[in-house]
Structure 1
Amino acid sequence: MTVETPIVQKTQRPERIDIGDGLVMRWSTIKDRENIADCMANAFKWSGIAVTVAEDEEPAPNAWVKAGVRRLMRGNSAVMTEYDYAVVENTLAKDGQNPIVAGICLHSVPGFYGEKVSMLYGKPEAVCSIPEYRNKGLVRRLFHELIHPASDARGDVIQIIPGINHFYRQFGYEYAIGIRSSRSIDDLNTKLPSLLSKDALTASALAAEPFTLRIPTLADIPYLCKLSTREAQKSRAQVGLEYREPYWRYTIHDAIETQESEFDSRRLTRIIVDAKSGRDCGLVMGASLPFLGLYMFTLEEGYLYREALYPVLRQFALVGEEPSVWTVKQETEKKAKEESKEDKKDGDEKAKEEDEQSKKDGEAAKKDDEDTKNDEKDGPAPKDGQTHATTTTDSTAPASAEKPPAPKPLRLILDPDHPITTLLESNSTADDHKHIRLYTRIPSYANFILKVAPSLEHRLAQSCLAGITATLQFDFYRKVVGSAGKGLEVVIKDGQIISARDDFVPPTPEELMLAARERKALAKAEGRPDNKKPTVFTIQFAPLTFTRLLVGDLSVDEMIYFYTETSVGGGDDAKLLLETLFPKTKEQFQCDMFWW
């Protein structure tokens, strides 16, 4: 399998398009960072993302979204650089007014298709426009004139994007790739009482765990890559994203080292260690903001998930409650400043403090004498180890007994058939977004088919159609935004895809008649029977809907059922060939949706 390397944009792209009224479309630089972040934060202040919006109050700019955009624009992201944000700038902006009024960034994310193809997905993200500039076609122009051309130019044969319902259909996207379903445990203390009980959280109990978690270092990146493959995750997904070295370097080191606010990235990656042998034996990965999410839980061969489940989840939940690196840094700096300020006080101030403290000590001593007299009135002094009871308590309980934490809800974002999902099924609830699909754009079906041909040929070779020779002719009725043509022709010879083209136009009945006459005339001239009629299957799909079959979202029968325009000419053989090339998959898109 050939692994493509993302093309890193190292300089500002030259495009600069004047669209009138003082507005200019261009690509970003690091100087635009704060303005883009402010634009995004204001555009999404009503969204409720990671915050609760009161119905009778105007919310502040969304701090969580702002932190995400600032993180993308730092220059160390695993999916983009500071030159990958397409923006609309108001060149007439007054002092104090944000000149950035709209924007879209473009990610490059490594992924896979089937068992044989590794490729790059284009991923538009962080789309925004401030209210005053909406409904002016700015986002449309950013997509069509900057984002899509840049993505196509670097060789992306597919783009994906999550986002606003129905909105991106107008830019050539079709709902096609279903995201992973998820399950939630809202109250760990109630649903899994053994997980975070007082007994389980004692120092001695934690020290006796059969599995422990450790923070990975840069030296662990090869191990993280090994345990985050589709095979290691026990996933049967046919499309998804891959976790490579840049992703792990960013999430375990770069993003943590450069945190800038309490809303910044809260990724949690831990290596699972066999406590008895000290051997690394697994990986658990998730996030603690805006919720405690578990995206990955993999174990080496020979280890059992049912034995690792509670020890790992118990410690993972505790890690999720820990303060962020940024918070710890702020507290450390605050303490250092206070100590420095204390050290700089002159002798007179210290003397004054000592004098005031002396007075306080005297008053405290006087009060202690009074308290002693009052205690003597109430009865004899308590014996060693006892206290006067002022409320009804268990006298045998330690005075400073620690209460177990109240952990955040846990969301399991794992494959439906993952062992952890199965083990926790009775204790978790299916989330209501299980049928959400990603917007998907495949601008050239021909280019996509040729790109993923190794996986398609592998499917053929493993089937009863191994070695087949046939031509598939697709009619999409008309060319629309997001498509390269109104038709597609794919030629297969001896089980190999030898060509694909988007400029195919279905022949008219008269053209078919003339072609048949020519074929028969040639056979007659060569003195042979007319036995070389090619196998041609004709298929009709509504514009862009073929995408859903390509990525395994719908079966052929479902395509026929859901879309009246669908037809498959050629009988059972044609239908079997389509089902073999493009099988519906139970496992949906394998991905961590927000890599940023």
Structure 2
Amino acid sequence: MTIEIPTVEKTQRPERIDIGDGLVMRWSTGKDANNIAECMSVAFKWSGIGVPPVAEDEEPVPNEWVKAGVIRLMSGNCPVMSEFDYAVVENTLAKDGQNPIVACISLHGVPGYYGEKVSMLYGKPEAVSSHPDYRSKGLVRRLFHELIHPASAARGDVIQIIPGIPHFYRQFGYEYAIGLRSSRFIEDLYTRLPDLLSKDAISPASLAAEPFTLRVPTLEDIPYLCKLSTREAQKSQVQVGLEYQESYWRYTIHDIIVNQSSTFDSPRITRIIVDAKSGRDCGLVMGANAPRRALYMFTLEDGYHYREALYPVVRQFVLAGDVPSVWEAKQAADKKKESKDSKESDREDEQTKKDDEVTKNDDKDNDAPAAKEGQTHATTSTADSNSTSATATADDGEKPPAPKPLRLILGLDHPVTKLLESKSIADNHNIRLFTRIPSYANFILKVAPSLEHRLAQSPLAGITATLQFDFFRKVEGSAGKGLEVVVKDGHIISARDDFVPPTPEDLMLAARARKALAKAEDRVDNKKPTVFMIQFAPLTFTRLLVGDLSVDEMIYFYTEASIAGGDDAKLMLETLFPKTKEQFQSDIFWW
């Protein structure tokens, strides 16, 4: 990779904008965490994300899963944002007990790559909400235009991505473009994979005999996790995706876990695969158990076979998701200790009462025999000693509760996806990220090393040509109505957004001037520049840039699309911007 990724700054941003009626737009501090989380939980209470379903005539409570996620984002150790990266609208007239935060958007900086030669930061607005009482007032629009987008641009982001409400973000200059990695899911693990979680397969003896085992990684394992999570290690061919860096793994395997504060605070499940025979680390599996069980990564080192590791690894991954988290285990232990202390206290109180009663009786009957040294007059109940025998034992023949469906988000060509293809169902949702490239020229210059690499590997190696794009008009989310990219000897030497497509008369006059110059210099006019003229509807070029559509599909789907300049013109676009089978290799939810 040739471009260093900027780091997420962790300093207070100064902007503070009074927008009237007591409302102020500003950037967050750590003190806002609970109020932002509360605003988000109320805004998302109808979403159903991460929480149990409610009856159709029942109003849901604020979303605790979303609330826990926001607290993580604002913790100060999230790798993609700091506690200062939430743009908020504050109601400065809020009364005591009223939440002053009424709208908010966080800005993430997600490390990723474009092609084989460029690393860069993807700007990612995320966790967007406004309180129901403050909707349709343009607050989110103003946060985007006056805080989020300027801050992203100032950091050097040339692209923003966001999942979210259908159609909603188009009004802010976003276009559906980057497609998420395709997935398949296994709805009923008992039916589809009968050997996976059978009684015999998960018995202690069987688990002890697994050829591959899983272990919980430590901070010392981070270099190994980084090594096995690269695009090359995952054998991925995608052109747009995430880079899993040290900060991601530290956050995922340590910070989230040690800072977990509720049962809704669900960390990733990350395990290192171990060759049981040799004891050697040989792979990585990573996924989540909430809000849904999913596999994001399954990587083996060279020399190991997926068909041999598949069932042992998936079996133990599924079982790991059913084990209480560190926080849940601690809560259970504290509750048990509290119960034990309470029982002991109750017994002590009962003993005191009995001793008092005995003392009263002794006072009434001085002739009663004295207790021997070390002996009390009261006897301890045997109820507690028998309590363990009253505990019901599980019926060995009873099937355990059905596990959650398992979603395979590994890519269609991943060996595990292929091995389980007949046992899984395709997720046919056409999911794409809203994508915003505010300046095509800046984007082209940023990713030039990858574009030049593609040219160098093609029949057009060493070409000199000018690409002139006509987008018809400037719209929200674009820097101009045209784009000009100059390529010399296979290298991109300039790109500009202020290009104004020439009229036919302009082209005629330019040709006359060129011929007149040649005549004045007494030479043949044989230096006509190579110019490729392309027309695309506003913002649709984004889909070609990220590999979402092919050139032929662009021409087919958009009637105004056209390419002039002969076969080389079309070949050059296909070379620079090839359609990819999978667009985004990602675990996009960092919260």
TM-score by length of 1: 0.91
Paired amino acid for 2:420: L
For 2:384 and 2:511, how far apart are their aligned partners in 1? 111
Cα deviation code 1:521-561 (max 9, x no counterpart): 21112221000100001111111000000000001111111
Distance 1:400 1:588, change over 3 A: same
Q: Which residue of 2 aligns with 1:78?
A: 79
Q: Report 1:450-489 matches (<5 A).
A: 450-489=445-484
Quote the residue 1:422 is aligned against. Answer: 418
Q: Could you tell me which of 576, 585, 593 is aligned with 2:580?
A: 585
Residues 347-396 of structure 1: per-residue CA shift (max 9 Å, x gap): 553355895854869999xxxxxxxxxxxxxxxxxxxxxxxxxxxxxxxx
Summarize deviations over 1:1-29 as a string: whole Å, max 9, x none.
Answer: 23524433322211000001111000000
CA gap 1:168/1:361 in 2 versus in 1, 3 angstroms:
closer
The residue number in structure 1 matching 2:26 is 26
> Distance between the aligned counterparts of 2:208 and 2:290, measured in 1?
27
In structure 1, distance between residues paired with 2:266 and 2:508? 64
Shift of 1:564: 1.1
2:491 pairs with 1:496: yes
Given candidates 492, 497, 516, the residue that maps to 2:511 is: 516
Residue type of the alignment partner of 1:253: H
In the TM superposition, what are the counterparts of 1:44-443 in structure 2 within 5 Å? 44-51=44-51, 52-341=53-342, 349-350=350-351, 358=381, 403-404=399-400, 406-433=402-429, 435-443=430-438
Return the letter of the residue paired with 1:48: G
Residue in 1 aligned with 2:361? none
In 2, Cα distance between the equivalents of 1:210 and 1:350?
Answer: 56
8 Å CA contact 1:40–1:126 kept in 2: the answer is: yes
Q: Tell me the distance in 1 between the aligned counterparts of 2:304 and 2:195.
A: 21
Measured in 2, the distance between the counterparts of 1:63 and 1:398 equals 32
Q: Deviations over 1:317-341 (max 9, x none)?
A: 1001111111111112222333445
* TM-score, structure 2 normalization: 0.92
Over the residues paired in the alignment, what is the CA RMSD in angstroms?
A: 2.1
Between the aligned partners of 2:300 and 2:382, the Cα distance in structure 1 is 63
Q: Report SS of the residue matched to 2:584.
A: coil
Secondary structure of 1:460's partner? helix
Matched with 1:394 is none
- Tell me, yes or no, if structure 1 residue 9 matches structure 2 residue 4: no
Deviation at 1:187, TM superposition (A): 1.0
Corresponding residue number in structure 1 for 2:358: none
Conserved? CA contact 1:239–1:589, under 8 Å? yes
Q: For 2:271, what is the secondary structure of its paired residue? A: strand
* Residue number among 548, 567, 572 corresponding to 1:572 in the alignment: 567
Report how far residue 50 of structure 1 moved: 2.0
Within 2, Cα distance between the matches of 1:571 and 1:402? 71
Task: Show CA shifts across 1:482-526 (max 9, x none).
Answer: 111111000001111010001100122222222212211211122
Q: Distance in 1 between matches of 2:569 and 2:385?
A: 98
Q: Distance in 2 between matches of 1:591 and 1:133?
A: 33
- Report sequence identity in percent: 78
Partner of residue 379, structure 1: none
Query: Which one-letter code corresponds to 2:164 in the other structure?
Result: G
Contact kept, 8 Å, 2:6 with 2:120, in 1: the verdict is no
1:218: how far off?
0.4
Decide whether aligned partners of structure 1 residues 183 and 522 sit closer, same or farther in structure 2, where only a CA change above 3 A counts.
same
Q: How many residues align?
A: 563
Report what 1:391 is aligned to: none
1:527 alignment counterpart: 522
Partner of 2:554: 559
More divergent stretch after superposition (3-12 vs 90-99):
3-12
Equivalent position amino acid for 1:432 in 2: N
- Provide closer, same or farther for how the CA distance between residues 317 and 517 of structure 1 changes in structure 2, counting only shifts above 3 A: same
The whole-number CA distance in structure 1 between the counterparts of 2:209 and 2:425 is: 31
For 2:532 and 2:381, the matched residues in 1 are separated by 98
Tell me the secondary structure at the aligned position of residue 316 of structure 1. helix
Unaligned segments of structure 1, at least 5 residues: 365-396
Tell me, yes or no, if the aligned pair for 1:487 and 1:505 is still in contact at 8 Å: yes
CA drift of 1:108 comes to: 0.4
Gaps of 5+ in 2: 355-376, 388-392
1:588 to partner: Cα distance: 2.4
User: Which deviates the most, 504-513 or 351-360?
Assistant: 351-360
When residues 505 and 229 of structure 1 are mapped into structure 2, their CA distance, relative to the original with a 3 A threshold, is same
- Distance of 1:140 and 1:150 partners within structure 2: 15
The whole-number CA distance in structure 1 between the counterparts of 2:138 and 2:248 is 34
